[in-house]
Structure 1
Amino acid sequence: MTATIDRPQTIAGPPRRALLRMLAVMSTDRLGMMTDAARRYGDASRLPVGHKTLYFFNHPKHVKHVLTDNGANYRKGIGLVHARRALGDGLLTSEGELWHEQRKVIQPAFRARRVAEQAGTIAEEADRLVARLRDAARAGRPVEVTDALTELTLGVLGRALLNADLSRFPGIGASFAAVQDQAMFELATLSTVPTWVPLPKQRRFRRARAHLQSVVDQLVREHDDGGDPENDVLSRLIASAAKEADPRVGRIRIRDELVTLLLAGHETTASTLSWTLHMLDEHPQVWERLHAEATSVLGGSGPVTADALHGLRYTTMVIEEVMRLYPPVWLLPRAAIGPDVVGGFPVPAGADVLVCPYTLHRHPAFWDDPERFDPERFDPDRPTDRPRYAYVPFGAGQRFCVGNSLGMMEAVLVTAILARDLRLRKIPGRTVVAEPMLSLRVRGGLSMTVQDA
């Protein structure tokens, strides 16, 4: 069902008396809530959830209006606002002048030239992952690949952005997971539970935040002045924090920014790679073609540069299709600063507005057979009249993901190296379920067996 978007309309949705049921659903089945709303009410709906009313828009023209055309009228919304209690004021949650200053500090690390220089780092980390997976295969045991991919993506970010080896810090991945769990708890409870309440989840979060603060402090202490101050993120954050009159504020700023940058950067790419391995096992003919391309382009060994991406055309199509079905950022929440009209639907000032890439990428008006996995959709030689804003895996507008180029290159190169060297298969009988956290991850992880390709 596609809404008419050119005239004023009454926005549909569940009755107000459903607010408690909707609050429970948001806690237990967020993807189901969004999918059901799109199916029942079309491209615009009003969802009562607890003491809030959420305005959900699911048409490319709506998305363009909220994220780009009138993006200045929208700030971060439900979820990210509540995640601030867990994440602090990092780039993901900050607003206004602070956000602009943080973006200016971080941006040079993601310039095209510097991103291209990280191809060798990515390939080295991927080769190490292959070696670890082969060790597990020789031991005759399956591998929890989500954990392995998290280790890889943290390794890439540590070397690429901080010139640091994060493997020196045991438990850092678990601490990031605890912070993410707390951020989603804040969303599900709308931040109504004080952080001092001694729930097991909140105790884990407090320990994790203290651990991550100690990691950041050690990185700052060990940081030398020999890095490139124009490109090295840690150097730029230290210099920026030094401008704060209160050293404690500067210390917290560095922590918030690094925790946010590393959490968002490693989690989204690890999730995309997990879903890619799942889909390659589900579609062996896709793996065969991908394996042949990777073998041809990368060869058996040797250095890998960003130029390899030009030859990994089918691999890129596979990653794009994986991100269509399982977008790493599954929800883009906004809050209206002033009143607006979105596609003919009135939105009051202060309203919580939702854009959901997960449902948008499965919209039957813009995607043929939308539930089917088909990398050929993204063949650059295939003509399409699909609207630009029907596909937003990295968001859009001024908040477009700063690390999109690095994340995309990492996903393509790691997938190609894994497909060249290994064949990974899921444990028979295992059901794979999506879990919508800050990213769209595989619930409970993904256990796979490992064979040489």
Structure 2
Amino acid sequence: MTGPTDHTRAAPTVPPGPPRRATFRLLKQLFTDRLALMGDNADAYGDVVRIAIGPKAMYLVNHPDLAKHVLADNAANYHKGIGLQEARRALGDGLLTSDGDTWKQQRRTIQPVFQPKRISRQAAVVASEVDGLIQRLAAHDGPVEVLHEMTGLTLGVLGKTLLDAELGGYETLGHSFEAVQDQAMFEAVTLSMVPQWVPLKKQLHFRTARDDLRRIADELVEQRLANPVEGGEDVLSRLIASGSADGSSRERMRDELITLLLAGHETTASTLGWAFHLIDEHPEVGERLHAEAVEVLGDRLPEHEDLRRLTFTVAVVEEVMRLYPPVWLLPRVAQADDEIGGYHVPAGSDVVVVPYTLHRHPRFWPDAERFDPGRFTAAERPPRYAYLPFGAGPRFCIGNSLGVMEAVFVLAMAARDLRLRKVPGKVVEPEAMLSLRVRGGLPMTVQRRDRVRRADAA
């Protein structure tokens, strides 16, 4: 990416950006290819870009120092922005969408569930769930929809580790969250100018999905109220205790649960989908993963301590999240005037830090489009804010440790026991919604490693 990178020199008040005559092209990209919208303009105009579409102006930030300013140093000036504002209609004021004192209270309530010691104690539960996944995959004779399987796994892990509840009976969760993401992005790109009562198919699906999510959240709360866990450390127990202490409504518990269910499964499932795609494209990586898993694990289930030994597997997960960060966009709204990289940013402006483009910045990531896990085993690492798969600052993703452990266990056990291949003719493309997912699913064939060895020997 080219353009100005010296953020200390004097600069014009208004950042560079595409001219007004490019409006129709920008609108088309906004609807059909949001990654190109961000990447093309970062390439053309540099590290701070003003993109004006109709009455809206968006400020794209694409440098580690500037990302640090927005997300950490001056975080109080930047509230949640485009996309997340629209998602509030379904998610309510959960941890993902709330701001100010509400967010601080929610964070304090949930934070203890994600303490490192507690997460490390969940390793056996995660490993058991992954073992069940591997057995299901190995039993398939024909193609399997990998993203569906990963969603089922991550919801199962979330239920047992964070909620102390079984989510296996809620098969509609994945589809409901897809409808929520579709609607949130539709409202974002249409500037919420289409009323929700308009009977578009997308909006009808959204209303059904919103009702389904609220029903599931209410059922989980009712089940825990009927069967309380004395001294429970899980999210449900803490939400109920907090609600009793401060008089919060049932609606708040519902908002928190729906948000946790979405954020807790979608990002890890997306990362695993991209991982299996990239490993299939680079079989040498799959063989190295297999060798490491055999050496470290043998035939046992992984333990938390193995995260320090599965160094290449961890590097693969990190490199997958560099190329396809599950949270590809960090949208904010400036509450007061600010200066970013020497440019004036008025109050009320949409400011977006884009990990997808930041993770491809040529100054910090040589040959950035190449899949190379060795970047994360090298002694020298890029600057902290050049790599933001979990965000940064006060809103750093609360579930990062659990998500990484889950992804590492899946890749290690899958590489040890299986070989997955995309079905012939499958074209893999990214779809930039609230998360960065594989468009249209990921059908793959599954071979057990013992069968592969016998075939190779023959």
TM-score (norm 1): 0.95
Q: Are 1:300 and 2:299 matched, yes or no?
A: yes
| Deviation, structure 1 residue 387 | 1.6
Task: Give the 3-state SS of the residue equivalent to 2:35 in structure 1.
Answer: helix
- Measure, in 1, the Cα distance between the counterparts of 2:153 and 2:400: 17
- Measure, in 2, the Cα distance between the counterparts of 1:126 and 1:273: 12
Alignment partner, residue 395 of structure 2:
399
Alignment partner, residue 443 of structure 2:
447
Aligned pair partner of 2:418 in 406, 417, 422: 422
Aligned pair partner of 2:366 in 360, 364, 368: 368
| Deviation, structure 1 residue 233 | 0.3
- Find runs of 4+ consecutive structure 1 residues off by over 6 angstroms: none
- Measure, in 1, the Cα distance between the counterparts of 2:425 and 2:336: 51
| Deviation, structure 1 residue 385 | 5.8
Q: Are 1:113 and 2:99 matched, yes or no?
A: no
Instruction: Write the letter of the residue equivalent to 1:374.
Output: D
Alignment partner, residue 455 of structure 2:
none
Q: Deviations over 1:194-240 (max 9, x none)?
A: 222211111111111111222112211211222543x2100111222
Is the Cα–Cα contact under 8 Å of residues 229 and 237 in structure 2 kept in the other structure? no
- Measure, in 1, the Cα distance between the counterparts of 2:82 and 2:75: 16
Alignment partner, residue 226 of structure 1:
229
Q: Are 1:85 and 2:89 matched, yes or no?
A: yes
Instruction: Write the letter of the residue equivalent to 1:329.
Output: V
Aligned residue pairs, count: 443
- Measure, in 2, the Cα distance between the counterparts of 1:235 and 1:155: 18
Instruction: Write the letter of the residue equivalent to 2:185.
Output: M
- Measure, in 2, the Cα distance between the counterparts of 1:202 and 1:241: 32
Alignment partner, residue 9 of structure 1:
11
Instruction: Write the letter of the residue equivalent to 2:84.
Output: L
Task: Give the 3-state SS of the residue equivalent to 1:335 in structure 2.
Answer: strand
Is the Cα–Cα contact under 8 Å of residues 55 and 352 in structure 1 kept in the other structure? yes
Q: Deviations over 1:94-122 (max 9, x none)?
A: 01000001111110110001111111111
| Deviation, structure 1 residue 383 | 3.0
Alignment partner, residue 192 of structure 1:
193
Task: Give the 3-state SS of the residue equivalent to 2:249 in structure 1.
Answer: helix
Alignment partner, residue 336 of structure 2:
338
Give the fraction of aligned pairs with identical amino acids, expressed as a percent.
59
Task: Give the 3-state SS of the residue equivalent to 2:197 in structure 1.
Answer: coil
Q: Are 1:309 and 2:313 matched, yes or no?
A: no
Quickly say closer, same or farther: Cα 1:124–1:45, change in 2 above 3 A. same
Which moves more between the two structures, 209-218 or 13-22?
13-22
Aligned 1:62-101 pairs, distance under 5 A = 62-101=66-105
Is the Cα–Cα contact under 8 Å of residues 361 and 367 in structure 1 kept in the other structure? yes
Is the Cα–Cα contact under 8 Å of residues 123 and 417 in structure 1 kept in the other structure? no
- Measure, in 1, the Cα distance between the counterparts of 2:299 and 2:43: 48
Is the Cα–Cα contact under 8 Å of residues 47 and 61 in structure 2 kept in the other structure? yes
| Deviation, structure 1 residue 243 | 5.0
Is the Cα–Cα contact under 8 Å of residues 3 and 44 in structure 2 kept in the other structure? no
Aligned pair partner of 1:133 in 109, 113, 137: 137
| Deviation, structure 1 residue 49 | 2.0
Task: Give the 3-state SS of the residue equivalent to 1:207 in structure 2.
Answer: helix
Is the Cα–Cα contact under 8 Å of residues 107 and 402 in structure 1 kept in the other structure? yes
- Measure, in 2, the Cα distance between the counterparts of 1:422 and 1:372: 25
Q: Deviations over 1:312-334 (max 9, x none)?
A: 10000000000000001000011
- Measure, in 2, the Cα distance between the counterparts of 1:126 and 1:399: 29
| Structure 1: unaligned runs, 5 residues or longer | none
Alignment partner, residue 208 of structure 1:
209
